[in-house]
């Protein structure tokens, strides 16, 4: 039995979903920064008092969650206890160890194919947090061998590919996602970022227009639109987008990047 929603909530809280960074004119755009989008949730198991307790502790007290998981594991808690411990380790700031443990649970064959795929997806998110996009790519690819039509996994792999600068391959995954779900705003935003990196700004703008029509306050979409506006010479439009990101998502990774872009814009070309 594996944990359900806690993994997505935890990883989403630990890392913002951003792999967008403003370029430094007049040179070409730099490579995208690492990011972590929330992974797909495992197939929902029947609730147990142990899993519910772990879910609560992961959100409120990761140290206590790790201690609880160790006791649960000693009492034959199995894969669910091991996953709880791995996620506690992630929350305590050791994503590489967490990723290694999550991969080991999946590799041992715990659960059905969707559950194993979700464990590999969680491992991929942890590898991205650890700054190892190659391992993240490998984990998402393993997950996709188990559930090849999982759109969340395809988005996750595209993020890893974008972080590695493999934008054309990222486009292939995102094109596949959007062929099946044309209104997935997150995929549209990531595809726009990849298109910008490939010097195809008109296509990137079209994707952003669609994404922001679907989700007007999509913070990564606003961040990316600000970058495109700056590249097109629309400094005022870029500033509005970045200020909106800071206002609606304070403390997020997107807001941090938007604030950096605003500071560089105010400093002028000599400081970029």
CATH number at 45 reads 1.25.40.10
Phi-psi region of 268 (alpha: psi -120 to 50; beta: other; left: phi over 0): left
- CA-nearest of 87, 12, 21 to 55 is 87
Number of domains in the chain: 1
Distance CA 142, CA 243 (A): 39
Q: Residue 144 has what pLDDT?
A: 98
For each successive 10 residues of the chain (272 residues), what is the average pLDDT? 51 44 40 36 53 91 95 90 95 96 89 90 95 97 96 96 97 98 98 97 98 98 97 97 98 94 83 53
The answer to whether residue 212 sits within a structural domain is yes
Q: Residue 55 has what pLDDT?
A: 87
Q: 193-197: long-range contacts at Cβ-Cβ below 8 A with a sequence spacing of 24 or more?
A: 193/19, 193/20, 193/32, 193/162, 193/224, 194/158, 194/162, 194/167, 194/168, 194/170, 195/171, 196/29, 196/224, 196/227, 196/228, 196/231, 197/29, 197/31, 197/32, 197/162, 197/165, 197/167
Q: Residue 13 has what pLDDT?
A: 38
Q: Residue 39: which residues within 8 A CB-CB, separation 6 or more?
A: 7, 8, 11, 118, 121, 122, 124, 125, 152, 156
Q: What is the pTM of this model?
A: 0.81
The total number of residues written for the chain in this structure: 272
The position carrying tokens 């979409």 is 221
Q: Residue 259: which residues within 8 A CB-CB, separation 6 or more?
A: 242, 246
Instruction: Give the range of the structural domain holding residue 132, as residue numbers without chain letter.
Output: 6-271
Greatest distance between any 2 Cα atoms in the chain: 63
The answer to whether residue 65 sits within a structural domain is yes
The answer to whether residue 116 sits within a structural domain is yes
Distance CA 108, CA 230 (A): 49
The answer to whether residue 1 sits within a structural domain is no
Q: Residue 23 has what pLDDT?
A: 52
54: number of CA atoms within 13 Å, CB side?
32
The answer to whether residue 96 sits within a structural domain is yes
- Token pair recorded at residue 43: 């197939």
Q: Residue 126 has what pLDDT?
A: 96
């Amino acid at each position: 039995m594996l944990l359900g929603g806690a993994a997505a909530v935890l990883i989403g809280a630990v890392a913002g979903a951003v792999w967008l960074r403003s370029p430094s004119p007049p040179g070409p755009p730099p490579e995208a920064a690492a990011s972590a989008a929330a992974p797909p949730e495992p197939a929902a198991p029947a609730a147990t008092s142990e899993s519910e307790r772990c879910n609560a502790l992961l959100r409120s007290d990761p140290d206590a969650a790790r201690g609880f998981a160790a006791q649960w594991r000693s009492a034959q808690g199995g894969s669910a206890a091991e996953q709880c411990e791995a996620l506690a380790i992630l929350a305590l700031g050791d994503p590489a160890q967490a990723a290694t443990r999550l991969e080991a649970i999946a590799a041992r064959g715990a659960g059905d194919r969707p559950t194993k795929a979700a464990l590999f997806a969680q491992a991929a998110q942890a590898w991205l947090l650890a700054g190892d996009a190659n391992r993240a790519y490998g984990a998402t690819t393993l997950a996709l061998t188990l559930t090849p039509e999982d759109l969340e996994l395809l988005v996750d792999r595209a993020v890893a590919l974008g972080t590695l600068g493999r934008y054309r391959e990222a486009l292939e995954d995102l094109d596949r996602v959007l062929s099946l779900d044309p209104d997935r705003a997150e995929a549209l935003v990531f595809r726009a970022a990849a298109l910008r990196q490939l010097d195809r700004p008109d296509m990137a703008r079209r994707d952003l227009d669609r994404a922001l029509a679907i989700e007007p306050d999509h913070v990564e979409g606003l961040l990316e639109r600000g970058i495109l506006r700056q590249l097109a010479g629309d400094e005022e439009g870029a500033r509005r987008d970045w200020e909106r990101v800071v206002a609606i998502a304070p403390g997020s990774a997107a807001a941090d990047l938007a604030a950096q872009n605003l500071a560089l814009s105010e400093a002028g070309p000599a400081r970029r």
